[in-house]
Amino acid sequence: NGHPLNAVSFEDAEKPLAKELPLSELGEPDSNLSITIVGASGDLAKKKIFPALFALFYEDCLPENFTVFGYARSKMTDEELRNMISKTLTCRIDKSENCGDKMDQFLTRCFYHSGQYNSEEHFLELDGKLKEKEAGRLSNRLFYLSIPPNIFVDVVRCASLKASSTTGWTRVIVEKPFGRDFESSGQLTRCLKQYLTEDQIFRIDHYLGKELVENLSVLRFSNLVFEPLWSRNYIRNVQLIFSEDFGTEGRGGYFDNYGIIRDIMQNHLLQILALFAMETPVSLDAEDIRNEKVKVLKSMRPLLLEDLVVGQYKGHSRGGKLYLGYTDDPTVPKNSVTPTFAAAALFINNARWDGVPFLMKAGKALHTKRAEIRVQFRHVPGNLYKRNFGTDLDKATNELVLRVQPDEAVYLKINNKVPGLGMRLDRSDLNLLYSARYPKEIPDAYERLLLDAIEGERRLFIRSDELDAAWTLFTPLLKELEEKKIAPELYPYGSRGPVGAHYLAAKHNVRWG
């Protein structure tokens, strides 16, 4: 089909996506695509989903006949919905060219239907409106569940019974959280499967849609210089780091029920780990890749409480400004022990990774915003230049860094001779900075994932057995943490997080990058 992945090429990096994806390949010419965003009045819909759909439209990646419906309980007219979303649309590709026209064209394809999430009758009304726009053409329907998880099943029931396509496919994108432990996640999957087949369910983990995460496999499997080093023989440790320089602002109520381990580690960081560590898949097909990821997850050593450090941010004043602590949020209980920071050491019990620590660190309200994959290599055996590094040989090891965000980059720390007559070495970076190499703006993760769902490409979505394996790994640890009511180590808002994370790393001979 016309999905960009099936046309992997080494052509000009500047080439627009539209040329790689002829409209004719996005569906039968007289077919129709109806996209319904359930929870359209919410934060995610405004911030990410409508803008991503507009960007796809702007790049000619949507089929000719498409409509976007917002669905939520809030009362709104079509015009009010358009006003609401027009505030967050941006023309990132070419700010000057036809931007206003394109926005107007997009907005005329957007409609709204107000209804309850558990009302079959209201979904039947939606079906009527969709049919009107589809005008008798073959119709494919995509539902995006941008709503709290407690109403997922109601919506899926009503949408599948009353608003499924009768002529084309019906797919449902589900946002995390997928349960809060193994049992609740399994229960959710079973309920969804009463109404949908696994093939219709697209569980989103938006980190898989990030450019640098996509690039991880390309880097590894299409460059001879990396894959042979990708094992315990050459890699000393791998670090997966997520940090945000703001707190749970506005989402404290949601967050307190989940905590950072469920919010970031069990999904975003674990998915990256699985992609990083998997064996070479048979092909780039979704099932081949997901099969390999599941094998990694099933090979992981059970997580131990002694390999976990948890923290929670407290209020802090800096530069005359007071930054409130986590429990100062009125939606968070004062005695909450929910972690806003966690660091963990994970191990994969297989021949490739035996003994290699995979260190994860995730935190809110830290000193910086970044997401990185750092790979620290072993020492050079019998290093001829070791005297140049003094006693700290760790400083001489190579490190490969994939900076997922911000300022996307791939760089390799190497030792290099300082030019001159003497023999002095220093650490330098072979640096691929995306903004310098690829002037075009990088698509948002949601654009890639929406396009994939429309195309039926499942590679970047989570299969139910992957989800089970991820929860199997984290559930016992979370239970123990919660049963023992382990108090998190407090750290000041805007700091580097609890010092315990450094002890944990040191225990495994690791220094955080």
Return residues touching ligand BG6 (CB under 6 A).
206, 244, 263, 371
Distance CA 11, CA 385 (A): 41
Distance CA 415, CA 387 (A): 13
Decide whether 21 or 196 has the Cβ nearer to ligand NDP.
196
Distance CA 477, CA 310 (A): 12
Of residues 124, 286, 267, the one with CA closest to residue 198: 286
11-40 residues near ligand NDP, rule: CB under 6 A: 39
Retrieve residue 75's tokens. Answer: 């009362």
Which residues, at least 6 apart from 297, have a Cβ–Cβ distance to it below 8 Å? 270, 274, 466, 469, 470, 472, 473
Decide whether 130 or 343 has the Cβ nearer to ligand BG6.
343
Half-sphere exposure of 161 (CA within 13 A, CB side): 15
Task: List the single partner that 263 binds among ligand BG6, ligand NDP, none, CB under 5 to 8 Å by kind.
Answer: ligand BG6
Amino acid identity for residue 67 in this structure: T
Q: Does 192 bind ligand NDP (CB under 6 A)?
A: no
Q: How far is the CB of 43 from ligand NDP (least distance, A)?
A: 4
Q: How far is the CB of 81 from ligand NDP (least distance, A)?
A: 11
| Bridge pairing between strands 399-405 and 409-417 | antiparallel
Q: Where are the beta strands (DSSP E) in 27-186?
A: 32-38, 66-72, 110-114, 139-145, 170-174
Q: Does 176 bind ligand NDP (CB under 6 A)?
A: yes
Q: How far is the CB of 246 from ligand NDP (least distance, A)?
A: 12
Q: How far is the CB of 175 from ligand NDP (least distance, A)?
A: 4
Decide whether 55 or 264 has the Cβ nearer to ligand NDP.
264
Decide whether 93 or 151 has the Cβ nearer to ligand NDP.
151
Residue nearest to ligand NDP (CB): 42
Of residues 237, 178, 151, the one with CA closest to residue 475: 178
DSSP class of 61: -
37-96 residues near ligand NDP, rule: CB under 6 A: 39, 41-45, 72-74
Q: How far is the CB of 254 from ligand NDP (least distance, A)?
A: 6
Decide whether 35 or 296 has the Cβ nearer to ligand NDP.
35
| Residues annotated as catalytic (active site), given as ranges | 268
Q: Are 109 and 93 in contact (CB under 8 A)?
A: no
Decide whether 44 or 442 has the Cβ nearer to ligand NDP.
44
Which residues, at least 6 apart from 189, have a Cβ–Cβ distance to it below 8 Å? 178, 464, 467, 468
Q: What is the CA radius of gyration of the chain?
A: 24
Q: Does 250 bind ligand NDP (CB under 6 A)?
A: no
Task: List the single partner that 175 binds among ligand NDP, ligand BG6, none, CB under 5 to 8 Å by kind.
Answer: ligand NDP
Q: Does 148 bind ligand NDP (CB under 6 A)?
A: yes
Decide whether 226 or 254 has the Cβ nearer to ligand NDP.
254
Q: Does 249 bind ligand NDP (CB under 6 A)?
A: no
Task: List the single partner that 148 binds among ligand NDP, ligand BG6, none, CB under 5 to 8 Å by kind.
Answer: ligand NDP
**Stretch near ligand NDP under the rule CB under 6 A, chosen from 170-178, 281-289, 353-361, 410-418:** 170-178
- In angstroms, the Cα distances linking 214 to 127, 271, 402, 412, 463 are 36, 11, 11, 18, 17
3-class state of residue 449 by DSSP: helix
Retrieve residue 390's tokens. Answer: 């003094």
87-146 residues near ligand NDP, rule: CB under 6 A: 117, 146
Q: How far is the CB of 219 from ligand BG6 (least distance, A)?
A: 20
Q: How far is the CB of 325 from ligand BG6 (least distance, A)?
A: 17
For ligand NDP, the binding residues (CB under 6 A) are: 39, 41-45, 72-74, 117, 146-149, 151, 175-177, 254
